[in-house]
Amino acid sequence: MAGVTDRPFRRLCLQMGAGLVVSEMVTSDVRLWNTRKSRLRLEHSGEPEPRSVQIAGGDPEMMAEAARRNAEMGAQIIDINMGCPAKKVCNKAAGSALMKDEALVKDILTAVVGAVDIPVTLKIRTGWSPDQRNGVTIARIAEDCGIQALAVHGRTRSCMYRGEAEYDTIAEICSALSIPVIANGDITSPEKAKQVLDHTGAQAVMVGRAAQGRPWIFQEIAHYLEHGTYLPSPSLETICNILLDHLQELHSFYGDVMGPRIARKHVGWYLQTTDGATAFRKQFNQLETPAAQIAGIREYFTHLIEGKEFAA
């Protein structure tokens, strides 16, 4: 997820029970890789395996080159983005816009699979629009081209993020394919993960937004799927420690200026449901240094743990 699944967050999700994590998407236009943002997205040192890197673009040769270069730089899986509805991506005929052009999908997948000797996976939506739900056709093309696993977000491109995800098309895709299918969209709890797996016959589920500020959702889901029982919710002390580790990773990955800025949105996610968070966040967002952020979080959680109001 662009702006979310950076290296610190991927590491944390893996530690918290995710089976596989994928990098933020990287443009296939290698001429744009020299920006600080792209360099950080392409940085994998010390990253746990397997390292899956997502590429986005609409030109088969450029996508193939991007895949080759990422494999050289340490990617162990190449994931192709045909799921992103953002205008910035779609206007250039990339992301989910590609699903409109089945011949081009085939060309891109063939070029990328042929360019690298590591597995290539694909992320799609269920179609271009509710009346052009061609997810099954695209899925068949993907399997024929040698794609090794397919993630499907249960919305069409025109649905953006509106409405509820639907899982019937994912179920159809699962029956049509023999490669593993990963079901995605609105999975926010262990029960929902189980329902979606049962309904679709998918081999795995993928969790996006529900992991923001709640990376322990992966162990909650894994535990429920394995044992049919719930893990107790993490205590405030545990959440505080997870968040402090996360902040420290963000500070060291992005540095003392950018790190605290990027940390703010994550802190907002962690504190979505905690008491007195609105007042605290206002104050937290003024803090500019790593040390001040760490001290601020410690103080806020100490108040919470002692059951005291946070006074801004």
Residue ranges that bind ligand FMN, judged by CB under 6 A: 1-4, 24-25, 54, 81, 83-84, 123, 153, 184-187, 207-210
- DSSP structural state of residue 25: P
Whether a cis peptide bond, with omega within 30° of 0, leads into 50 is yes
- DSSP structural state of residue 129: B
CB of 299 to ligand FMN, least distance (A): 29
Q: Which is nearer to ligand FMN, 50 or 208 (CB)?
A: 208
Checking 258-261 for CB contacts under 8 A at 24+ apart, the result is 259/290, 260/287, 260/288, 260/289, 260/290, 260/292, 260/293
Q: Which is nearer to ligand FMN, 179 or 244 (CB)?
A: 179
CB of 235 to ligand FMN, least distance (A): 25
Compute the chain's Rg from CA coordinates. Answer: 20
Residues 6+ apart with CB under 8 A from 243: 266, 267, 270, 297, 301
CB of 30 to ligand FMN, least distance (A): 18
Q: Which of 13, 84, 145, 240 is catalytic?
A: 84
Q: Which is nearer to ligand FMN, 5 or 293 (CB)?
A: 5
CB of 175 to ligand FMN, least distance (A): 21
Is 84 labeled as catalytic in the residue annotation? Answer: yes
CB of 145 to ligand FMN, least distance (A): 18
User: CA torsion angle for 219, 166, 136, 211 (degrees, to 10)?
Assistant: -30
Question: Nearest-CA neighbor of 286 among 296, 277, 276?
Answer: 296
Which residue has its beta carbon closest to ligand FMN?
208
CB of 92 to ligand FMN, least distance (A): 14
Q: How far, CA to CA in Å, does 145 sit from each of 80, 93, 105, 149, 240?
A: 13, 20, 10, 11, 46
Residue 260 CB-density burial (10 A; 0-12 exposed, 13-18 middle, 19+ buried): buried
- Tally helices (H) and strands (E) across the chain: 12, 7
Q: Which is nearer to ligand FMN, 111 or 159 (CB)?
A: 159
Q: Which is nearer to ligand FMN, 123 or 157 (CB)?
A: 123
Q: Give CA–CA dist 217/308, Å, rounded.
A: 27
Q: Which is nearer to ligand FMN, 246 or 310 (CB)?
A: 246
Cross-strand pairs, 202? none
Q: Which is nearer to ligand FMN, 169 or 184 (CB)?
A: 184
Residue 129 CB-density burial (10 A; 0-12 exposed, 13-18 middle, 19+ buried): middle
CB of 37 to ligand FMN, least distance (A): 13
> Which positions are annotated as active-site residues?
84
